[in-house]
Each structure stands twice: as C-alpha cells, then as structure tokens.
C-alpha cells in the first residue's frame, strides 16, 4: 500500500494552516508537510524541486482565494509542468459556489473539491484513495 510521504498546503490563512497541520498530525496523514502562502511561491518552489530532482509532494491541498497568485492561476501554470511523479490535488475552499466546484472538476489533475473546514474524515478519505 502506498503511503503519503509529503503533503503540501497552499493557503494564505495562518489559522487554517495551523488547524490543518494539527489535524494532519492527529490523523497520521503523512510524514512531512510543506506550506506555501500563495500560488506563486508554491509554483516557484515546486519548479525548483523538479529541476533539482528533490522530493515532490504526493498531495496538494489548494485554496482558491489567495493574494499574489490564486488557486486557479496556480492550476493553470501547474498543469503545464511535466513531472514524472503524479501529484494529487484537492481544492479546499470556503466557497460553496457551484461554478467553483464545476471549474475545479474541469482540471484533470484535481481529484476533488472539499469545502472548508477540512475534517479528519476528509483526510482519511484522501489517504484511502491515495492508497488504492
């Protein structure tokens, strides 16, 4: 069974990040967590990881509304990057707008759309689908 080694949180809300990191730890979700506060920083660091042949995240928990580069802009850029490793992306947003949900589904690399706050049950479901 595959295990999630590294999860990446891309979100600008420090309180949310703190809570999710605690939830990740409590649910033994993964071995490592990396955090970026906007899509631009995440994209630059992930490109660097690829070019330096370093460990890429297995799962990305991506917020939509962030400063500098939002989740949609991140996805538009990220989908053009070629990687050997399959990275699973989950949109995690407070938006319940059906347009956002449908837009997320239009990206092949997005596995699901989760409405905040993410729960331990959500993390367990992600872990189960990752292991399948």
- Domain presence at residue 88: yes
- Domain presence at residue 132: no
Round to whole Å and give the CA distance between 99 and 88.
Answer: 21
Going by C-alpha positions, the residue among 5, 1, 9 that lies closest to residue 39 is 9
**Helices of type H across 1-132:** 14-26, 39-51, 71-78, 98-105, 120-131
- Domain presence at residue 131: no
- Domain presence at residue 73: yes
Q: What is the mean pLDDT of residues 87-115?
A: 94
Note down the domain range covering 17.
6-123
pLDDT confidence of residue 132? 67
Query: 69 with 101: CB under 8 angstroms?
Result: no
pLDDT (tens digit per residue) in 12-30 = 999 999 999 999 999 999 9
pLDDT (tens digit per residue) in 26-36 = 999 999 999 99
Query: 10 with 39: CB under 8 angstroms?
Result: yes
- Domain presence at residue 29: yes
CATH code for the domain of 115: 3.40.50.2300
88: region left, alpha or beta (phi > 0 left; psi from -120 to 50 alpha): beta
DSSP summary character for residue 30: -
Q: What percent of the chain has pLDDT over 70?
A: 97
- Domain presence at residue 79: yes
């Amino acid at each position: 069974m595959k295990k999630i080694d590294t999860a990446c949180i891309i979100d600008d809300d420090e309180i949310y990040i703190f809570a999710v990191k605690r939830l990740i730890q409590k649910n033994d979700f993964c071995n490592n967590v990396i955090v970026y506060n906007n899509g631009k920083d995440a994209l630059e660091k992930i490109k660097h990881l690829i070019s330096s042949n370093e460990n890429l995240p297995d799962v990305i928990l991506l917020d939509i509304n962030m400063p500098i580069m939002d989740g949609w802009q991140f996805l538009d850029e990220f989908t053009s990057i070629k990687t050997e490793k399959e990275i699973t992306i989950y949109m995690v947003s407070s938006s319940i707008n059906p347009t956002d949900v449908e837009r997320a589904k239009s990206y092949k690399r997005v596995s699901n759309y989760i409405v905040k706050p993410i729960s331990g049950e959500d993390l367990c479901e992600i872990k189960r689908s990752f292991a399948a």
